[in-house]
Amino acid sequence: MSNDIDARAFRRALGNFATGVTVITAQNSQGQKVGVTVNSFNSVSLDPPLVLWSLAKDSNSFNVFESASHFAINILASDQIELSNHFSRPQEEKFATVSWTAGIGDCLLLPNCAGRFQCESYERIDAGDHWIFLGKVVAFDDLGRAPLCYHQGSYSIVSTHPGMENKGDLIVPLSMPRGRLRENIYFLMLRALNNYQSAYLPKQEALGTSISEARAIFLLSDNPELFADGIPELTNAPQSEVIEILENLRDRGWLAQEGKGYALTEKGQLKAAQLWALADSQASIIFKDLSAEEMGHFKQTLRNVGQHD
């Protein structure tokens, strides 16, 4: 890479920009269909209505996008991680196992998305190792479903900022409301999670680990067998990102290749011990008023959520 910029560090820094996730699709006059998971989508102009996204020049889908008269941008909803993973794996027939309907200019529309834009191909710009595609929006659906988000290599969801109530501070705990919300269990759990995270995550970051790296270290130390034969398919991050996270951990000397698999090094075990200790100490600070027995009940209650619905 030019300018002495380290490619992996650059990608990692770019990952701080939280985005949505889209699947962009097109079909050419020979009926060849393509679909690619893309988070480089953005709005450009209202009049005319223009949007853009970028495609790696080595993408297998380039020829079809280049020749198709139209493309569709399907903004994924929070429960469509599987679709995101599906369209981020290079494979022959991506549409054989996925439901879709044909849109304008034979673009392909996916059901149950958060929003969809059907675009006429407007311009293609040469930009380094990517092509920028500009599209003129000719139709759209605003389905308003909760979006799937992407941040630091992991999928996430939109949650109200805990600081929204007090704009003066960067992050302040959500205050306890009066009235019926005070008794609403869903609200209480969301509030508790927001407040817990805003106290806990800065401490975890202070140990030198991003959220996704800490998650990987927890998993590597608690379920090492998952990584014994290679890199496992995880549900909360695409395979390409898991590879990237593991490479980062390896570069820091926390992880080593062992045969076909991966394992934490001594230094990695130490980092894992620090992370577990932090997790435990945070829990004991926040839940200091609960006895061991009450804490046991509380944990069991949380484990049971989702078992009886």
By the criterion CB under 6 A, which residues form the site for ligand FMN?
A: 21, 36-40, 54-56, 59-61, 84, 88-90, 150, 238
DSSP state letter for 76:
P
Query: By 3-state DSSP, what share of the chain in percent is helix, strand and coil, each rounded to 5?
Result: 40, 25, 35
CB of 243 vs ligand FMN, minimal distance in Å: 11
CB of 193 vs ligand FMN, minimal distance in Å: 24
Backbone angles phi, psi at 108, to 5 degrees: -115, 125
CB of 35 vs ligand FMN, minimal distance in Å: 8
CA distances 190 to 37, 164, 174, 193, 205, Å, are 29, 14, 10, 5, 22
8 A C-beta contact, residue 111 and residue 99: yes
* 19 vs 221 by CB, closer to ligand FMN: 19
* 66 vs 196 by CB, closer to ligand FMN: 66
DSSP 171-209: S-PPPPPPGGGGG-HHHHHHHHHHHHHHHHHHHHHHTT-
CB of 45 vs ligand FMN, minimal distance in Å: 19
Taking phi first (over 0 means left), then psi (-120 to 50 degrees means alpha), and beta for anything else, what does residue 31 get? left
User: Quick one: which of 78, 76, 79 has its CA closest to 36?
Assistant: 76
CB of 57 vs ligand FMN, minimal distance in Å: 9
Q: Which residue has the tokens 């999928």?
A: 155
Residue 252: what residue type? R
* 113 vs 264 by CB, closer to ligand FMN: 113
CB of 136 vs ligand FMN, minimal distance in Å: 19
* 60 vs 184 by CB, closer to ligand FMN: 60
